[in-house]
Amino acid sequence: MSDFIKIKKQKQFEVSKNVYNYLSPDYVYIPYEKGYKINVTDKEKVLKDSLVLTKENFYIYSPISGTVLGLTEMVVQDKKTSVIVIENDFKEQVKKIKGVKKYLSDYSKTDVKDILNLYNLNLTNDNGKILLINGIDYEVYEKNRSTIIKKYPSEILETIDALYTIFNCEKCYFALKNNDSENVENLIHHVGTYPNIDLKMMPDLYPISYPKILKRELIMPHNEGLGTIYLTVEDIYNIYNILKRNRPVTEKYITISGNMIETPKVINVKIGSSLNEIITNNYKLKAGDYQIIINGLLSGYETNSLNFVITKDINSVFLNKVNDKKAKECINCGLCHTKCPVGADPRTGYKMDQCINCGTCRYICPAYINLKERGK
Ligand code: SF4
Ligand code: SF4
């Protein structure tokens, strides 16, 4: 494991042990792109879980009950995008859905694939014989996966075991960070009931949690031919909720931290909430001048507006002091190449088609050169 880095953690970015909920936002914003069919009209009252947008076999549901106000513009990922605004009526009235089976093991492989497709959770390689579950957060300081395991250990293990049987797998690896001690202890205690699940303790090194890297470390070279069904702990938790309740995923855990936030913490929010509303109602800022980094201090990207919509791809938000370190001349130390987990060289373009955008080269560079930008 020579091509990984150990990140020296700073206490100010560590999240509080308590996890918070913010599940009644005033508004939600549903990104709209050309080609989608809009299933609602202005001023229409919608129930939670009712269909708002469709595109071929892709469905988007309302995370709240309320009134459709029409279209506006917000930042989605890193660009301005049209969004449908729904104002919350705070009644959380839910659309009735039938067809839930009592036990997860009662579902057939076809049932599971169909119901997951309906809620946009598509399994890659569903004929794979290895089930690989990633319980390690992507980025330093993110604690979403660790939080889910801590809160729902039995649900997670039950779902993994059911999928193992339903998909007729031959091996099942559940990767955890070896210093996530509370979860490690707890899962070792629970896992005795599930002899098919093999817990794999991985060192706290970056970027071990990237799918390509985790597969390389755990599966290759011995079992590569068997094919892998790869899922994260969030996927497992979402699958549990989908199969148990037959409902779309409308909430998600995100880590909000940064050296301009008084108390960094993990928060469970409605998908479609605005970052501005979440921050205003749940976090105290040290000052008004900050930069916003989305999805990690190493691999993330900057956005310049709190009018930013939380979509299902958002794992973390950092509000940090504005970084005024200026890039200097390259001193040819070679670290960006020798520490790259896939052996690429961002200076020359060598093997950049393998780049996983982990940001290690930028983090490690003594001249503060933003090499990650070159990997785009
Ligand atoms: S790490 Fe930075 S200074 Fe070192 S060789 Fe790479 S670009 Fe140059
Ligand atoms: S070149 Fe790509 S994979 Fe290699 S360290 Fe940089 S961002 Fe990571």
**Residue pLDDT, tens place only, 10-20:** 999 999 999 99
How far, in Å, CA of 150 to CA of 147, rounded? 5
Closest listed residue to residue 337, CA positions, set 327, 348, 326: 348
Q: List phi, psi (to 5°) of 372.
A: -60, -35
Kindly give, in sequence order, each residue whose CB lies less than 8 Å from that of residue 145, ignoring residues fewer than 6 positions away: 134, 135, 136, 137, 232, 233, 234
Q: Range with the lowest mean pLDDT among 58-67, 79-88, 129-138, 367-376?
A: 367-376
pLDDT of 376 over the 70 cut: no
Nearest CA to ligand 2 atom 2: 355
Q: Is 301 exposed, middle or buried (0-12, 13-18, 19+ CB in 10 A)?
A: middle
- Mean pLDDT of the 278-296 span: 95
Edge to edge, the sheet with strand 66-76 lists: 27-31, 79-88, 66-76, 45-46
Could you tell me which CATH class the domain 104-245 is placed in? Answer: alpha beta
- Mean pLDDT of the 218-229 span: 80
pLDDT of 1 over the 80 cut: no
Nearest CA to ligand 2 atom 3: 355
pLDDT at 288: 84
Ligand 1 contact, 327 CB (< 6 A): no
Which of 360, 362, 371, 376 most suits a substitution to test ligand 2, by most atoms within 8 Å of the C-beta? Answer: 360
Q: List phi, psi (to 5°) of 159.
A: -70, -40
Rounded to 10 degrees, what is the CA torsion of 310, 315, 319, 322?
-110
**Residue 373 banded pLDDT, cuts 50, 70, 90:** low
- Mean pLDDT of the 226-245 span: 92
Ligand closest to the CA atom of residue 360: 2
Q: CATH 3.40.50.11540 in the chain, residues?
A: 104-245
Q: Range with the lowest mean pLDDT among 21-30, 120-129, 210-219, 295-304?
A: 120-129
- Mean pLDDT of the 9-31 span: 95
Closest listed residue to residue 218, CA positions, set 189, 234, 198: 198
Nearest CA to ligand 1 atom 4: 333
Which of 347, 361, 363 most suits a substitution to test ligand 1, by most atoms within 8 Å of the C-beta? Answer: 347
pLDDT of 183 over the 90 cut: yes
**Is the CB of residue 241 less than 8 Å from the CB of residue 198?**
no
| Ligand 2 centroid, distance to 362 Cα (angstroms) | 8
**Residue 252 banded pLDDT, cuts 50, 70, 90:** very high
Write down the mean pLDDT value for the chain. 92
- Mean pLDDT of the 146-166 span: 96
pLDDT of 200 over the 50 cut: yes
Query: What count of other Cβ atoms lies within 10 Å of the Cβ of residue 11?
Result: 5
Q: Range with the lowest mean pLDDT among 113-117, 198-202, 222-226, 296-300?
A: 222-226
User: Above pLDDT 70, what percent of the chain?
Assistant: 97
Ligand 1 contact, 97 CB (< 6 A): no
Nearest CA to ligand 1 atom 3: 330
Task: Check residue 125 and give left, alpha or beta (phi > 0: left; psi -120 to 50: alpha).
Answer: left
Residues with CB under 6 A from ligand 2: 340-342, 344, 346, 355-361, 371-372, 375
Nearest CA to ligand 1 atom 1: 365
Check residues 24 and 374 and name the one with the higher pLDDT: 24
pTM of the predicted structure, to 2 decimals = 0.93
DSSP-derived pairing of the beta strands 228-232 and 251-257: unpaired
